[in-house]
């Protein structure tokens, strides 16, 4: 009887461990259009306007939000990476076209990185779903080294140029270090 009880406890712990691991694993699917395996986070990272970018908001104002997420493309063992960015503009400020060079800057502990747009493969389904139908979405260059820097960084800020030339800064609404570190581990990207 005792052996049965110990076996049941071990089985429950094992199942709990598997359930916990599955929550950090990225969503992975085979895209039928490109025959690539695509891996992304379960949900993109939400960024909210930083305190200095919010200004005074009235009840009729809708605040802008930003979202980003890493994407891994694997075609028969040939890996590529991109950073998916979606800006959901509110009526607090008119943001410039994010695909224009120099419109987006990622700020990490190690410094600033101007994001450079790329043409992502034309998927049958998107790695992430845009949050706002009126928002702007684009893919930007991402290397394994930059992804590691993002995961290790205490600071993660996305600066977006507005139409008037000013900068709107977005910061994460949650913990990005754990999310991105878990993504790296799940993808088998460890060490140097």
pLDDT in tens, 16-67: 344 334 345 678 989 888 888 999 999 999 999 987 654 444 444 667 899 9
130: CB partners within 8 A, 6+ apart: 86, 88, 137
Task: With respect to residue 104, please indicate whether it lies within any of the assigned structural domains.
Answer: yes
What confidence tier does 10 reach under pLDDT thresholds 50, 70, 90?
very low
**Range with the poorest average pLDDT among 68-82, 85-99, 139-153, 159-173:** 85-99
pLDDT at 13 over 50: no
Domain residues for the domain of 40 are 27-186
Section 103-128 average pLDDT: 92
Task: With respect to residue 74, please indicate whether it lies within any of the assigned structural domains.
Answer: yes
Token code pair at residue 170: 């977005």
Task: With respect to residue 58, please indicate whether it lies within any of the assigned structural domains.
Answer: yes
Task: With respect to residue 123, please indicate whether it lies within any of the assigned structural domains.
Answer: yes
Confidence (pLDDT) at 121: 84
Task: With respect to residue 13, please indicate whether it lies within any of the assigned structural domains.
Answer: no
Number of domains observed in the structure of the chain: 1
Confidence (pLDDT) at 5: 37
162: CB partners within 8 A, 6+ apart: 93, 94, 95, 96, 168
Task: With respect to residue 191, please indicate whether it lies within any of the assigned structural domains.
Answer: no
Task: With respect to residue 174, please indicate whether it lies within any of the assigned structural domains.
Answer: yes
Burial class (CB in 10 A: 0-12, 13-18, 19+), 71: buried
- The share of the chain scoring above pLDDT 70, in percent, equals 79
Task: With respect to residue 1, please indicate whether it lies within any of the assigned structural domains.
Answer: no
């Amino acid at each position: 009887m005792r052996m049965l009880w110990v076996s049941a406890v071990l089985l429950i712990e094992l199942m709990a461990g598997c359930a916990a691991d599955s929550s950090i694993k990225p969503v992975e699917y085979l895209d039928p259009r490109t025959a690539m395996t695509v891996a992304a986070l379960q949900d993109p990272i939400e960024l909210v306007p930083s305190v200095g970018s919010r200004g005074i908001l009235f009840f009729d104002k809708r605040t802008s939000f930003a979202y980003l997420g890493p994407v891994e493309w694997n075609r028969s063992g040939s890996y590529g990476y991109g950073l998916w960015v979606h800006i959901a503009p509110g009526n607090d400020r008119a943001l410039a076209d994010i695909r224009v060079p120099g419109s987006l800057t990622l700020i990490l502990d190690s410094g600033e990185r101007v994001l450079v747009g790329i043409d992502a493969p034309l998927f049958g389904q998107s790695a992430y779903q845009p949050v706002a139908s009126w928002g702007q979405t684009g893919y930007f260059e991402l290397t394994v080294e930059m992804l590691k820097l993002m995961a290790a960084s205490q600071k993660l800020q996305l600066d977006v140029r507005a139409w008037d030339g000013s900068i709107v800064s977005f910061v994460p609404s949650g913990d990005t270090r754990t999310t991105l570190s878990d993504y790296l581990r799940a993808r088998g990207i460890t060490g140097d």
